[in-house]
Amino acid sequence: MHIIQPAVWDYAWGSDTEIQEIIGCDDPRIAEAWFGAHPLAPSTGPDGQPLDAFVADDPRRALGEGTLRRFGALPYLLKLIAADGALSLQVHPRLDAARAGFAAEEAAGIRRDSPLRNYRDPNHKPELVYALTRFEAMCGFRTPRRAAEVLAGLGTPLSDDLSSTLRDEPSATGVREVFTRLVTPELAPNPGEVAQLVEACRLRLESGSPSPRADRTVVMLAAQFPGDPGVVTSLLLNPVTLRPGEALFIPAGGVHSYLHGLAVEVMASSDNVLRAGLTSKHVDVPEMLRNVDYVAAPPIRIAPETFHQATRVYYAPVDDFELSVTDVPADGVVRRLPGLGPRVVLCLDGSVVLAANNQTAMLPRGHAAFVCDGDGPVTVGGKGTVVQAAVP
């Protein structure tokens, strides 16, 4: 076992308190804490060695023959994420697009840490988010009929035009046309048109809106990003609320934005984000649009399977990762964590003791360990709650 410390990021939408309280630090703002071996920001051991270097020292022992053969590196990244404001309107690329985009940007000589870079690695980025507090998000497209209904009645030229397009073409083609118009700079509504639609949503909300959640989201986003056409795209997307303990899967190609809350994320080990709005970061609309899945679909909520009345496992429909949550009561019973192979174990609450391969490690709240494949089975005792990222 190898104790690791997270790499932290202070993006503008982060929180002043949430992650700080878990990992025990006084940084003024933290948006994400990364527990993994992504070369952009790997976790570090007590001696300062990056986790990717630790894995590279003995990859067969660290990853196991199967994971090494399939992926060549640790295939997942575990995070804490704390959103006090909305994240960008974004999509993550599929594997073939990521490989092609990464190769093209490497050939163009764009530094991997450049703010103009789309592809920081050649990997896709499906992800699963597990809520620790009430967690608000937008994810995937509503049906064209429902999106047209939400837009109808606002009475602005922009809303009437978008609603008419969706009624005339109630398919993925209509969704593509409307979404493309909203986010493409040459076609997008100007700030005045966006403000007019926002005001219509505010007035409808005050008078008893048939779509109060959609209208509240527009007003909230407009306060953070005034004049941004991405505000209007929220009317096309499915709203999602997760209660603590609930999980949402975001496939590659799924348009989404997280709005507020604290959560654990596990994803393929990638930092590839293609943005179209609601951000001050790099935006590449054509590349984003090439990666979007326009087929309307409900959000993919992942229900856990429960083992031994203590562990809930969230099986995502990908080969890169799975997430488990284990509650450890103070009953003196040592419990075995599920799975084998390389794992990252993070203590969310209390204080626990991990044991594997005749080694033990104390994990207070906010502390984590990387467990090598060669360490074999892992047990946990003490009192608290741990999350584990593992390879299926």
For 272-295, write each residue's pLDDT tens digit.
999 999 999 999 999 999 999 999
- Listed range (155-164, 193-202, 230-239, 328-337) with the worst mean pLDDT: 328-337
Q: Average pLDDT of 379-388? A: 97
For position 332, what pLDDT does the model report? 79
For position 317, what pLDDT does the model report? 96
pTM reported for the whole predicted model: 0.96
- 142 or 330: whose pLDDT is higher? 142
Q: Is the predicted pLDDT of residue 177 greater than 90, yes or no?
A: yes
For position 308, what pLDDT does the model report? 84
Q: Average pLDDT of 59-86? A: 97
pLDDT in tens, 32-51: 999 999 999 999 999 999 99
Q: What share of the chain is helix, strand, coil (3-state, %, to 5)?
A: 30, 30, 40
Q: What is the mean pLDDT of the chain?
A: 96
Give the model's confidence band at 339: pLDDT under 50 very low, under 70 low, under 90 confident, else very high.
confident
Give the model's confidence band at 23: pLDDT under 50 very low, under 70 low, under 90 confident, else very high.
very high
Provide the CATH number for the domain formed by 1-6+42-71+303-392 in this structure: 2.60.120.10
For position 333, what pLDDT does the model report? 84
Give the model's confidence band at 193: pLDDT under 50 very low, under 70 low, under 90 confident, else very high.
very high
Question: Which residue numbers are catalytic?
Answer: 275
Provide the CATH number for the domain formed by 143-237 in this structure: 1.10.441
Give the model's confidence band at 141: pLDDT under 50 very low, under 70 low, under 90 confident, else very high.
very high
Domain ranges of the chain: 1-6+42-71+303-392, 7-41+72-138+241-299, 143-237
Q: Judge whether 1-6+42-71+303-392 and 7-41+72-138+241-299 match in fold.
A: yes
Distance CA 363, CA 386 (A): 9
pLDDT in tens, 201-257: 999 999 999 999 999 999 999 999 999 999 999 999 999 999 999 999 999 999 999
Percentage, residues of the chain above pLDDT 90? 96
Note whether 345 and 369 are within 8 A (CB): yes
Q: Is the predicted pLDDT of residue 330 greater than 90, yes or no?
A: no
Give the model's confidence band at 173: pLDDT under 50 very low, under 70 low, under 90 confident, else very high.
very high
Q: Is the predicted pLDDT of residue 342 greater than 90, yes or no?
A: yes
For position 331, what pLDDT does the model report? 86
Provide the CATH number for the domain formed by 7-41+72-138+241-299 in this structure: 2.60.120.10
Q: Average pLDDT of 350-367? A: 95
DSSP result, 84-141: SSPPPEEE---HHHHHHHHHHHHHTT--TT-TT-S-SSS----EEEEESS-EEEEEEE
In degrees and rounded to multiples of 5, residue 206 shows phi and psi of -70, -25
Q: Is the predicted pLDDT of residue 340 greater than 90, yes or no?
A: no
Distance CA 69, CA 95 (A): 17
Distance CA 130, CA 250 (A): 11
